[in-house]
Amino acid sequence: MIFIKIGFIGAGKVGFSFGKYLSENKFKLSGYYSKNNLSSKEASIFTNSKFYLSIKDVVNDSDIICVSTPDDEILNIWSELREYNISKRVICHFSGTLSSDVFTHIEQFGAYGYSIHPLFAICDKYNSYKSLKNAFITLEGDSRYINNIKSAFNSLGNDVKIINKKDKTLYHVASVISSNFVLALINISKSYLKTYGFKEEEALKALNPLIINNIKNIMENGIIDSLTGPIERNDVETIIKHYEKLNENDKEIYKLLSKELLNIAKMKNVNKDYKSIEGFLGEGL
């Protein structure tokens, strides 16, 4: 199969970003369909492609059909797609948590299903595409064209890993912890700075070099060698002082994360005795 035209069903941030990313790199887009005609028209202008008034028209004009709707709409879209001639089409979605199994019995229709997911936060429909070349992409689905899709993204500079559909949920857990959970932790940190006079922007500005340099160190030196702080130093007195200042909800978070840091500290400092910290943090170590 030669990948000639790529159509999108859904014209939100993901549809905008992937469509623009592909069109900027010489992939041919057929165009967009969306329940909101203004959105599909806007996306078509942004990517120099068509906008459609029906899913059937997208199917007729496309070799690859990308379902770029919210997760809870994908099954509904698939139910409609099955009403048309999708033989020999590639059908994909960009959900992090759903696998290609959402396209139930796709083989009966002569089509091929895939899930494509970037480990990347798409937050701006007009600008996120500019950084998609840096995204690590996971891919799973039918064996027929999976290596073709992998090669296509590799040609754009993306690292791609083919995963098993049964691992999709755990994969998504990992990405959420490193993305959304980090956001939650930064928000907690910011809230404590605000309790004694930091303004919102001032708190984020103060935390910025700490966050950025920490991530940089992890990427360059690995997790174990990047560990610093009271856990690594075996400073149980500081840990207790921290704990006493926290509100009740954050105390549990602090202990759970401290236990994980302690496991890392033990790998870094194999001869250091961490029994005092173990005793404070409690069971489950």
Tens digit of pLDDT per residue, the chain (285 long)?
445 899 999 999 999 999 999 999 999 999 999 999 999 999 999 999 999 999 999 999 999 999 999 999 999 999 999 999 999 999 999 999 999 999 999 999 999 999 999 999 899 999 999 999 999 999 999 999 999 999 999 999 999 999 999 999 899 999 999 999 999 999 999 999 999 899 999 999 999 999 999 999 999 999 999 999 999 999 999 999 999 999 999 999 999 999 999 999 999 999 999 999 999 998 543
Q: Do domains 6-163 and 171-279 have the same CATH topology?
A: no
Residue for token pair 């509904």: 76
d(Cα 174, Cα 188) in Å, to the nearest integer? 20
Domain ranges across the chain:
6-163, 171-279
Type and span of the H or E element at 117: strand 112-119
**CA nearest to 73, candidates 9, 124, 135:** 9
Name which CATH class applies to 171-279.
mainly alpha
pTM equals 0.85
CB 121 within 8 A of CB 139: no
Report phi then psi at 26, rounded to 5: 75, 15
Type and span of the H or E element at 166: none
Question: Which CATH fold would you assign to the domain 6-163?
Answer: Rossmann fold (3.40.50)
